[in-house]
Structures are given as structure tokens and as C-alpha cells.
Amino acid sequence: MSAEGLKLRLRKGDMELEVSISSDFNEKQLKLLQRFLSSLLSSANEGIKENVVQREREGARSSTSIYERLRIAISSVFRYGQWFNSLEAKEAYEEMFGEEIRLSTCSTYLRRLEENGFLISRKQGRIVEYSLREPLEVKQIARSEYMNE
């Protein structure tokens, strides 16, 4: 910490949380901040876990393809419009479904999801980043793809 203190900024899509900490920040305040951030993260993780449990109950895991499960993971984890790369999508898939996916497979499916209008992309140097289209459009595309199967 500097003499001025510390600023912590958390951004998730369009949402942003900024915490300013003065230089006289004490241990009690640190524990309160730690508890607040911990509950914030656990509530986000709970929402993701509930989604996975519900989909598993409906038999989604056994009856869906890797492509469809990747789409589910992306729409759950990156639902606020943040940008992500293929490695982050791979990690989201593996954490959500508890199974590995090759990075090359993930990259191929990300390109297909973009071609199908589910994602948009941009190039940051040599890295390609992806983001969900507007939520309403995503729901409509997902619905139309489901109806065409």
C-alpha cells in the first residue's frame, strides 16, 4: 500500500465495483473486506453450480455434444459480456463439466459459435478474444438452433 492507500476495481461486463482503501486501513477492516469479497465470489459460483446441477438433472450432460456444453459454459460464465480467449473458455468448460477438452477443439468450436452468430470476436495482437452477442440475440439464436435440430 502507498501512503495514499489502495484502490481495488472489479469489473464484470457492464458492472463495476470499486473499493478504496485508505493508508490507515486496519486488520478489522481487512477482515470485513475479505468476508465481503468472499461472499460475493461464492454467490457468483453458486449461481454457476446451480445451473450445472439443474442441467445434469435434466440429462443435459449425457445428451448434449461437446459443442453444446461449451456453449452452455460460455453463456453461464461469460454472461455479462466480458471478453475471453480460448484458454479461458476451455477452463470454464472443464470447471463446469468436470471433463477435459483440448484447446484446439475449443478454438474450433469458438470459431463455429462465432460463425453461427452466438459470439463476436476481436483480435488483440496475436490473441483472438470472444464475447457473447447481446443477451436477447443470444437467446433467440440458441432457440432457433435448438428448433432446427
Residue with cell 452466438: 118
CATH code reported for the domain at 66-148: 1.10.10.10
Tell me the pLDDT tens digit for each residue of 89-102.
999 999 999 999 99
* Domain boundaries of the chain, sorted by first residue: 25-63, 66-148
pLDDT of residue 138: 42
Dist. CA 28–CA 123, nearest whole Å: 44
Dist. CA 99–CA 94, nearest whole Å: 5
Tell me the pLDDT tens digit for each residue of 48-57.
666 666 665 5
